[in-house]
Chains A and B, each alone.
Chain A
Amino acid sequence: MSVITRGFRGRGRRDENLPPGQYLTEDFPVLSAGPTPRVLPDQWEFTVTTESGQRHSWSWADLQALPAETPTVDLHCVTKWSKLGTTWRGVSLDVIMADVESVADYALVGSYGGYTTNLPLQDLQDGQAWIAYEYDGEPLDPEHGGPARLLVPHLYLWKSAKWVRSIQLLLADEPGFWESAGYHNYGDPWREQRYWGD
Chain B
Amino acid sequence: MARAAVLGRLTWRVATVTAVRPETATTRTLVLDVPDWPGHEAGQHVDVRLTAEDGYTTQRSYSIASAADSSTVELTVQRVVDGEVSSYLVDVAEPGDRFELRGPIGGYFVWRPSVKPVLLVAGGSGIVPLMSMIRTRKAHPPGLGPFKLIYSVRSPADIIYADEIRHTRAPDDGYERNYVFTRETPPGWPDPPGRLDAAKLARAAPWLPRNEPEYFVCGPTGFVEAAADLLVAAGHAPERIKTERFGPTGG
CB distance from B223 to the nearest CB of A (A): 11
Residue of B nearest to A1 (CB): B12
A27 adjacent to chain B (CB < 8 Å): yes
Q: Are B88 and A8 in contact (CB under 8 A)?
A: yes
For window 192-251 of B, CB contacts with A under 8 Å fall at: 221, 225, 228-229, 231-232, 238-239, 241-243, 245-249, 251
Interface size on A, residues (CB 8 A): 45
CB distance from B247 to the nearest CB of A (A): 3
**What is the predominant secondary structure among interface residues of chain A facing chain B?**
loop
List the B side residues contacting A194 at CB < 8 Å. 47
Q: Are B228 and A34 in contact (CB under 8 A)?
A: yes
Which of B49, B51, B94, B248 is within 8 Å of A29, CB to CB?
B248
List the A side residues contacting B59 at CB < 8 Å. 21, 23, 80
B52 adjacent to chain A (CB < 8 Å): yes
B98 adjacent to chain A (CB < 8 Å): yes
Interface size on B, residues (CB 8 A): 56
- Complex CA gap A81/B59 in Å reads 10
Extra 17 A-B pairs, beta carbons < 8 Å, given A10-B50, A10-B88: A1-B14, A2-B57, A3-B98, A6-B98, A10-B85, A12-B54, A23-B251, A26-B249, A34-B243, A35-B232, A36-B229, A80-B251, A81-B249, A113-B238, A143-B225, A177-B108, A182-B106
- List, sorted by A's number, 13 A–B pairs whose CB atoms are closer than 8 Å: A5-B98, A21-B58, A23-B251, A27-B247, A29-B245, A36-B228, A81-B247, A181-B6, A181-B107, A194-B47, A195-B6, A195-B9, A197-B9
Q: Give residues in A with beta carbon < 8 Å to B.
A: 1-14, 21, 23, 25-27, 29-37, 79-81, 113-115, 143, 177-178, 180-182, 194-198
Q: Give residues in B with beta carbon < 8 Å to A.
A: 1, 3-10, 12, 14, 47, 49-54, 56-61, 84-85, 88, 92-94, 97-100, 105-109, 221, 225, 228-229, 231-232, 238-239, 241-243, 245-249, 251
